Structure 1
Amino acid sequence: MTDVRALSALADVICRAQEQGRVTPMGIAFAIDAAGLLMSPDTSAELDEYRRQFPKLTAGRPALPRRVDSERYYSTPSGCFHCGIGHREHAQQWTPAGGWHQWTPPTDEQVKARMLARRSARRQYARAAGGASC
């Protein structure tokens, strides 16, 4: 017997992917994978349970500090508008706000804010490490 709910979910994911301009088989496959439709039912149920519990498990915990000693942990000034990843290493990315997206150039305001944030982070790291500020 055919699982109509699963087929409907798959059709919905494919339709949304096509509306977002994903018309290649690979683009549609990425959308299906991101929706979790390639997982076993047990794995999917476990992931859903973790997603439900995550806000309770992290409530009241301070946010982890961002590492400033590696370029990887903060966006480059000319990084993607949506996620901050550089153009060369971007390819196809997913973010909660932007969904699946290709590299999009940042605004001038984003570039300036990222440059100032990077300068500030480097100064804080230098001070914490006992060195001179940059």
Structure 2
Amino acid sequence: MTDETFLAEFSPLVQDMSVVLDAAQLTSDDPKVKKFVADFTKQTGKAPTKFNAIGWVQAELTAEGLRQAKGLNRPCLMRGLEQIKGFETGIIPPVTWGKGDRSGVEAIGVGKISGSKVTVLENTVPID
């Protein structure tokens, strides 16, 4: 419910609604978020959506898993992904995977829909 396309269409119906945040807002001051937004906009000619950001995170994690892999096959990629520890994207909290632990990030934030924007009440942080 916090994607820009949803807000553009339905924000009048959901004013002051509290929402769960699973990723940083693309208006964040975080340098990694700003870099992603600038790079994406330069490459595509348009501003990214939340779904673009999540796709970028998935691509970054896959690329890191491939860098860690000893070969280009499924078992090596799985072991490569399991080596990822504290991988920071700025979009979501740091990702750590391990053998038998593939959840990556369990995180939550809280926001409120105000106008056609989401106001962050609590930044997205890992759940302990």
TM-score of Structure 1 vs Structure 2, range by shorter chain: under 0.3
Bigger strand share:
2
Bigger helix share:
1
